[in-house]
A = this chain, B = another copy of it.
């Protein structure tokens, strides 16, 4: 047992998976959960991701050693505002939000002082296109990167909260994730390319296919693995990605423009060198990064 009481705010896919991973590995004395959606909270409790459901989140916050914010990003920012005045220096907060720039700035502003709880911004590079506690899995984080963007603290942190920060990193490692520290700005830039862009591309592809085919039955019976796989992320919920787009707009916009331009160049040169050049670059990308040729 490494932490006393953990409160998970937001018991959807990631929150409930964190609960399962904590409980399965006996890393915490008690795992308490809260979700504004009563059904999600009940599901998380039923699958064993929580020891108990909190009735009043603020009361549960006061009683927790570590609070894990596992909601979409804009709700995380709201929770940070609410929690900052009621948490003390012996407590710690972390989050699992997909963008880190705004969260890091707010963490420094609201949690920077010595009298405050420590806040460690985090981001597990794991998920599924369809969320919800029902799909939670304690092994979700195995082999995934878990990125942290630590905040500068104005005053030296108390040993207790610095300890909690270390312990949370140990928990995440025990989940099977690979811990990496990054600058928040660099995090958001890199994630725009490796996570947000693939999502937007899948959404665009699925959306044009929906627009083109509507109810036509042909697509389903003809499309193979390529179609299924390239549109899988099309099932991702807008509620989560709206927050990502809101908090990483410039970086995502740049990546979208790059793909638009590349597609345009390929289109204008479907019989010319532009197509070959794109295939060669794409081949190189896969060869250098994914030696397992079946992806």
Give the Cβ gap from A254 to chain B, nearest Cβ, in Å: 9
Interface of A is mostly: helix
| Residue of A145, A225, A257, A287 with most partner-chain B CB within 10 A | A225
Can you name the residue of chain B whose Cβ is closest to the Cβ of A224? B125
**B289-A211 in contact (CB<8A):** no
**B260-A267 in contact (CB<8A):** yes
CA distance A144 to B197 in the complex (A): 30
Tell me whether A256 and B267 are in contact in the complex, defined as CB-CB below 8 angstroms, given that A226-B195, A226-B198 are known contacts.
yes
**A253-B235 in contact (CB<8A):** no
Can you name the residue of chain B whose Cβ is closest to the Cβ of A228? B295
Cβ < 8 Å to B, chain A residues 175-228: 178, 180, 190-191, 193-195, 197-213, 215, 218-228
Copies of this chain: 2
- Mark each residue of chain A from 259 to 278: 1 if its CB lies under 8 Å from any CB of chain B, else 0: 11011101100110001111
**B207-A195 in contact (CB<8A):** no
**B144-A282 in contact (CB<8A):** no
Can you name the residue of chain B whose Cβ is closest to the Cβ of A208? B258
**B230-A281 in contact (CB<8A):** no
CB-CB under 8 A from A200, the residues of chain B are: 263, 266
CA distance A208 to B225 in the complex (A): 23
CB-CB under 8 A from A129, the residues of chain B are: 286, 293-295
**B231-A285 in contact (CB<8A):** yes
State which size class the interface on A falls in: 35 or more
**A284-B204 in contact (CB<8A):** no
CB-CB under 8 A from A286, the residues of chain B are: 129, 206, 231-232, 234-235
**B289-A220 in contact (CB<8A):** yes
**A194-B180 in contact (CB<8A):** no
In-complex Cβ contact of A207 among B197, B236, B278 (8 A) = B278
**B260-A260 in contact (CB<8A):** yes
What 17 additional pairs, Cβ within 8 angstroms, besides A129-B295, A201-B263, A207-B282?
A126-B224, A128-B294, A130-B293, A194-B222, A198-B230, A202-B226, A202-B230, A203-B279, A207-B279, A211-B281, A231-B282, A232-B295, A237-B283, A238-B276, A238-B283, A241-B275, A241-B279
Binding site for B on A (CB under 8 A): 125-130, 144-145, 147, 178, 180, 190-191, 193-195, 197-213, 215, 218-238, 241-242, 245-246, 249, 252-253, 255-260, 262-264, 266-267, 270-271, 275-290, 293-295
| 9 pairs of residues in contact across A and B, judged by CB atoms under 8 Å | A125-B223, A129-B286, A145-B222, A193-B213, A204-B262, A204-B266, A228-B290, A235-B286, A245-B271
